[in-house]
Amino acid sequence: MLTPTEIQDKLDRILLKVTKPGRYVGGELNITVKDWNAAQTRVALVFPDIYDIGVSNVGLKILYDLINQREDALAERAYVPWTDMEALMRSNGIPLYGLETFHPLAAFDILAFSLPYETLYTNALNTLDLAGVPLRAAERDGRHPLIIAGGHSTMNPEPMSAFIDAFVIGEGEEVIQDMINVVQRVKGQRFNGEADLQSSTFDRDVMLKELARIPGVYVPRFYNVEYLEDGSVAAVSPCEPALPKTITKRMVAKLPPPPTKFIVPNIETVHNRATVEIMRGCTRGCRFCHAGMIVRPVRERPVDEVVAAAEEAIRNTGFEELALMSLSSSDYSQIVELVTKIGEKFSDRHLNVSLPSLRIESVSIDLMELLKDRRSGGFTLAPEAATERMRRIINKFIPDEDIINTTREIYRRGWVTLKLYFMIGHPSETLDDVRAIGELCKRVLAEGRKVIGYKARLNVGVSTFVPKSQTPFQWVPCDSVEQIKAKQNLLRDILKDRNIKLTLTHAEDTFLEALLSRGDRRIAEVIYAAWQAGAKFDAWNEGYRYDLWSAACAGQGLDPEFYTHRQRRVDEVFPWDHITAAVKKSYLFEDYRQSLEGITRIDCRQHCFACGILPTFKQVRRENPGGYWKCPEVKVRGEVLAAPGD
Amino acid sequence: MRLRVTFSKQGPLRYTGHLDLHKIWERAARRANLPLTYSQGFHPHPQIQLAAALPLGFSSRCELVDLKLNETLPLEGLVDRLQAAVPAGLHILHVEEIDERAPALQTQVTAAEFEILLRDEIAPQSLTLRLQTVMESESLPRERRGKPYDLRPLIEALNLIEPGPENLPRLWMRLAAREGATGRPEEVLDVLGIPLESTRVERSCLIFK
């Protein structure tokens, strides 16, 4: 294994030959560089996309701080090199390394992958390969790092089960500590504190068994899958009775203090901003929304904590942008107070404050006005669908008139560019529903022209719905590539206007996301074959190769449409049924059934629909009463109060 | 007030380019709580001027930046205040106040000096001979981005200096750095037959009008 000095020396000779060499040298403001030899457990946090995208990831930043605060552990970062750098690293024998001390990844005890979306899977495989670690979990032994992964896409861990030793289900703040403790206990006796590049050998099986006992940790090798003749899953069961039949996600009762010492890159990246998470979870219950289903319950940070964190973050970073992050800003209960305070603190400081996911109502415009002295940039709203029938199906009900009135008001108050986001491919969508998107956009622009004339601009982003595991739409088929293309062509025809900019996602990208989202264990071999054939950077248009994925499916004798374009049986056992976000399958099915009837559900802060969160976490709720959680209270003594039907 | 800061740029920051360095100064000023003056208009930007772009990969111990501030601050303690706010690899050497109406920094540079460490073995006689040949030639026709030019008049001086660590040879050169007439160390190295990746280039001095 190369030493850090050898790696740096080799890097020195190739870096000027690649684009943006600043991606590969670390040294940023606010990083934590710890003494390698003094740390008993060394963790490399990997975001399997390029530096420019990964460096601002807030989830990994939280873990980076938590691990580095431990005296007995260190955390470093690694990203995937762009293709030019990868080629030079391979030809010069440079393994992937941690950006803090330039130790090769293979020398770490744990490689922890963030897998927020499925199109990173091949990059994760490529990372392991660049690190010189065997790709398949079964081929690794005591000499190799433990490979773990978490993030939203791991709510269906099965497609990556062949490559990851242990998955974290749910929120990582507490469970990462539990996992490090287990690794230390198992490796413990062998640690000698000396400058030993090779992580000490250990009994991998013992370690994995111990990890599998941690709540929220899923070790796929200890679970067997049986299939029915039609190819669907018959059952997933643990191979030892001591292991849980179902792995329930982890969830932190109170959001820990937000990170404020963000790493400030020395080069331009995608998001140059300090981010403060104001709220986790969402009570709206949009049926297409994966995050809305898996990140329950809603927990809000108090206004003062957010304001203090924002000030500290700007002081620590000097960033020109502050992002107040949540799934639905408008639903933060003290949003007006928060935005007023932030506006007061940061006006005249040449700071751009962003507030994502605003509801379609005039209050949102007031909020944006509090934050912006100028109307630069656009104003973004997401109606998602354009007919009221469709909005009932997806449970995001907004009357057309609200959209017209709000958008007209946005133009009237000085914004020239408006951005509207829609999705096509919702369940039971017809071409009429798609046509309605075009018509609505034209109406919005016509209203804008009445107010500010021909300078009014409209950007329309239309993505394609991909049914996700653990949501009410996990039973429905995803549109086929042909269906998507027909719908997109219709939109292109309608939205021919020089002041409308239409952005569409590639139909083939949707196909891949759909294949991986609801795949089972057999898809692992497809991912492997695709990677071997050269698939990587599937989230990038220039990277993704449809032909190669089709061939990979064929090579495994699998029909991709079985995964993408099939209506699931009502009683089907899903490949991810042994994993739960604490939202019951029966609840999801009921919600799905109601969507077919066009029945909407109101914000669950106003009425609890008994999704399953409260019974699972009733003890936690008892210990954390009050308005911090947006679920109903649970009595200290006696039965669960709130969840009707429980 | 207008501050002129002299600083060095080393380590990982060698791989940060000119535009990104601008951003680094803007953020450093915000962290140090220095009230930068912003331009008027729809997209206000901070009034920051760097003397001369330093090519990617080169280090320097003679960089200059002018920062225009809204207020007049005492100079005392500013070196430390700035040092505390900049990323590793920047070292603040000197801060002074200069006349707000003084001409823009980048128009005042005439030449730049470079020290170059040669990390791969080269026979000393061969090296001396190569230097001699370059300095004795009347012209060195080259092409850069499709445009022909003569490198020779841009080389004001070129010689060997005392060796660096591990007795590795070191070159020193002074190249013109006027508008439209900038000599580049990598071009000189190319003429000398020395691959850029086997060297370490440091800008040691900027020469002003």
Please work out, in degrees rounded to the nearest 5, the angle formed at the alpha carbon of residue B127 by the alpha carbons of B123 and B130: 140
Q: Could you tell me where the DSSP H helices lie in B37-123?
A: 78-83
The answer to whether the CB of A425 falls within 8 A of the CB of A487 is: yes
- Which chain B residue has its CA at the smallest distance from A269's CA? B20
With both helix axes pointing from N to C terminus, report the angle between A523-532 and A121-131 in degrees, rounded to the nearest 10: 60
For A568, the token pair is: 């699931």
Predicted TM-score (pTM) of this structure: 0.94
Q: Which among A96, A95, A98 has a CA at the least distance from the CA of A77?
A: A98
Residue in A16, A24, A25 nearest the CB of B197: A16
pLDDT mean over A471-489? 97
Q: How confident is the model at residue A644 (pLDDT cuts 50, 70, 90)?
A: very low
B17 touches chain A (CB under 8 A): yes
Q: How far is A180 from chain B (nearest CA, A)?
A: 30
In this prediction, the answer to ipTM > 0.95 reads no
Cα A302 to Cα A75, A353, A359, A367, A614: the distances in Å are: 29, 18, 21, 18, 22
User: Is A25 in Cβ contact with B12 (below 8 Å)?
Assistant: yes
Q: Under an 8 Å CB criterion, which residues of A touch B?
A: 12-17, 21-22, 24-29, 264, 266-268, 272, 314-320, 349-350, 374, 376
**Could you name the CATH architecture of A4-241?**
3-Layer(aba) Sandwich (3.40)
CATH number of this structure's domain B109-208: 3.30.2350.10
> Which of the residue ranges A63-77, A373-387, A476-490, B43-57 would you say has the lowest mean pLDDT?
A373-387
User: Which residue of B lies nearest to A27 if distances are taken between CA atoms?
Assistant: B12
Query: Between vectors from CA A161 to CA A157 and to CA A162, what angle results, nearest 5°?
Result: 160
Tokens coding A296: 């329950």
A96-105, A515-524, B43-52: segment of lowest average pLDDT: B43-52
The CATH class of the A253-374 domain is alpha beta
Angle, vertex CA B201, rays to CA B198 and CA B205, nearest 5: 165
Instruction: Give contacts of B 113-142 with A, CB under 8 A.
Output: none
What is the mean pLDDT of the segment spanning B148-159? 96
Q: Is A282 helix (H, G, I), strand (E, B) or coil?
A: coil
State the Cα angle at B147 between B145 and B152, rounded to 5°: 105
DSSP-derived letter for residue A333 is T
Q: What are phi and psi of A623, to 5 degrees?
A: -75, -15
Tell whether B195 lies on the interface with A, counting CB pairs under 8 A: no
DSSP SS3 for B4? strand
| AA identity, residue A417 | T
Considering chain B, tell me which residue range(s) the CATH 3.30.70.580 domain(s) occupy.
Answer: 2-107
Residue A73: burial class (beta carbons within 10 Å; 0-12, 13-18, 19+): buried
Of B12, B42, B57, the CB nearest to A26: B12
B35 to chain A, any CB pair closer than 8 A? The answer is no
Of residues A608, A606, A617, the one with CA closest to residue A581 = A617
Boundaries of every domain in chain A? 4-241, 253-374
List of chain B residues whose C-beta atoms are within 8 Å of the C-beta of residue A82? none
- Report helix, strand or coil for B164: coil
> How do residues A400-449 score in pLDDT, each as one tens digit?
999 999 999 999 999 999 999 999 999 999 999 999 999 999 999 999 99
| Of A121, A41, A134, nearest in space to A80 by CA | A121
Question: Distance (Å, rounded) from C-alpha A280 to C-alpha A485?
Answer: 35
Regarding beta strands B48-50 and B59-68, do their DSSP bridges make them parallel or antiparallel, or are they unpaired?
antiparallel
Span A215-241, mean pLDDT? 97
Interface touch B198/A13, C-beta < 8 Å: yes
Mean pLDDT, rounded, for B167-186: 93
- Cα separation, B13 vs B196, in Å, equals 18
Mean pLDDT score across all residues of chain A: 93
Contacts of A97 in chain B (CB under 8 A): none
Task: Give me the count of residues in chain A.
Answer: 646
What would the pLDDT profile of A605-639 be if each residue is shown by its tens digit? 999 999 999 999 999 999 999 889 999 998 766 55
At the topology level, CATH places domain B2-107 in Alpha-Beta Plaits (3.30.70)
* Beta strands in A416-456, from DSSP E residues, in sequence order: 417-424
B140/chain A closest Cα distance in angstroms: 25
On chain B, the residues whose CB falls within 8 A of the CB of A315 are: 31
